[in-house]
Chain A
Amino acid sequence: MHTKSLTELAADLASGAVSSTELTQAYLDRIAALDSRYNSFITTTPEIALAQAKAADEARAAGQAGAYTGLPIAHKDLFCTEGVRTSCGSKMLDNFESPYDATVVAKFKAAGAVMLGKTNMDEFAMGSSNESSFYGASRNPWDTDRVPGGSSGGSAAAVAARLTPAATGSDTGGSIRQPAALCGITGIKPTYGRVSRYGMVAYASSLDQGGPMAQSAEDCALMLNVMAGFDKMDSTSSQRDIEDYSAKLNESISGLRIGVPKEYMSDDLDPQIAERVQAGIKELEKLGASVREISLPRTRMSIPAYYIIAPAEASSNLSRFDGVRYGHRCENPEDLMDLYTRTRKEGFGAEVKRRIMVGTYALCAGYYDAYYNKAQQIRRLIQQDFLAAFNEVDLILGPTTPHPAFKIGAKNNDPVSMYMEDIFTLSLNLAGLPGMSVPCGTVEGLPVGMQLIGNYFDEARLLNVAHQFQQVTDWHKQTPAGI
């Protein structure tokens, strides 16, 4: 049962082949038996899950089941969950039981979903490997000596190990797409503002976006139908109408114009990944798409621009962790300054401190124009490159990551080399565009992903193209050995 997709499980629930209670117990048993290998969950919530499953079965019996009723979900541990620890992977919030639900969490509850638990992540979503988690790194189910990617690494590992059929993630610079690629699953980062940020612990507010992670595009569509939509509690939430993201999955992609940026198929890219992406492009051509080379000349500049904008916003957002209102507080503070500085020293890990300090520096009087303003100008240029490309093509395609999953510890002392892993994903967040990662092969036994980039609010098209690709390939169905 655990290898079935979310869509298949939905059909089994609808036909009565299985009850939500049976399904939920099976996943809870799997997590209890196997997660010590992967460390993909920070918190499991079996009592809540079984109560929600019982309620879902009762709703179904009463004829009140919706599309997600009784289906499991695991939430990345930065989505606030009422009465359940929301740690954000940090010691700072190890003792924090949120007094309210994030909008995404509330929407899944209202849809009748069953919460299995909260997944592991890089501390405050800052990282590309999951190694900055206070709870220890999550491990890649394809090779447990390797990272699952980050920051939504626990969500990706849990789906890849089939400990849950679906998990939420968040993506500030690639944090849904990169771990999805490294773990061989499908994930979509929607357009900025499509999914509410309310109750997501903030990292970089102008870049953060929540989204689905699951086995397939079809499953992601089912999830996005629950997650997306305007929320008055999020000041940058889009008021644009949402679509039925499942409705266009089966449409033909004949005539689709795809652009492949030459800057993505470059020397930075592992040649074996380039081959897998080329093979993926061939499949889409067979389905009737036309492919041409395009240029996104400022791709490389997304790294410095991102590593100013994100830390600057983080240094401001994380100033709220002061030991006064919630979260960690140091013992016996001598005075208010000691309370602040010692609480923050004890509560934050090394990467979070680095980013806070970079951001603080970039926002200092005298440096603002040289760093923050400059980065925001480059951000405009990056957006213009994409908009020019979308005059010529319907969709942009390339690799998700330059390399497959690396060994745990390999990049620990070299933050800059870790940052370079994000080269193909960062620019979408700067521009606010939707993107997804779709499994397109393996390199030496490790999965790699193909990235699809859409124009603003073109999620349904991305899901359609990915679904059509997944009708003629089976990379998304492959699992690590022994699953």
Chain B
Amino acid sequence: MSLDRSDVERIAYLARLAIDEQDIPQYTENLSSILQLVDEMQAIDTTGVEPLAHPLDGEQRLRADEVSEMNQREQLQSVAPATEEGLFLVPKVIE
């Protein structure tokens, strides 16, 4: 699988990554060589093989629905770039 410039631009958009125009050829080359490497997988017959998502086939544990932690908003927001009255500030989204 080989990628072209428009593939790289689309992937970068989906990943919410801005990339510089001059870096696109390098990304295209690197990503294409990585995808060539992973295409080796297609040589293996996996018909009927159950995918393994978790090494120990673990199941999600459930717990009782009880209050286990107190509100830590101030502590957790102390590392935020911008907050006001307990809210995270971002550029205006709705006109």
Contacts and interface: CB of A to CB of B under 8 A. Distances in A.
6 contacts: A307-B38, A319-B16, A334-B91, A354-B31, A360-B15, A430-B55
Nearest to A303: B37
Given A238-B56, A360-B11, A377-B51, A344 B17 contact: yes
Contacts of A333: 91
A324 B90 contact: yes
Nearest to B3: A361
Interface string B37-59: 11111101010011111111010
Interface of A: 96-99, 192-193, 206, 232, 235-236, 238-239, 298, 300-301, 303-305, 307-308, 315, 319, 322-327, 329, 333-342, 344-345, 348, 353-354, 356-358, 360-362, 364, 370-371, 373-381, 383, 415-416, 419, 430-433, 456
Interface string B10-27: 011011111100000001
A99 B38 contact: no
B51 A236 contact: no
B80 A354 contact: no
Given A304-B38, A370-B42, 5 more contacts: A301-B41, A322-B16, A324-B80, A336-B91, A358-B35
The B interface, classified by DSSP as helix, strand, loop or mixed, is loop
B55 A340 contact: no
B71 to A, nearest CB: 13
Contacts of B36: 416
B11 to A, nearest CB: 5
Given A206-B55, A301-B41, A358 B16 contact: no
A301 B90 contact: no
Which of B14, B15, B77 is most buried by chain A, counting CB atoms within 10 A of its CB? Answer: B15
A345 B20 CA distance: 9
What 5 pairs between A and B have smallest CB-CB spacing? Answer: A432-B55, A376-B51, A377-B46, A329-B81, A341-B18
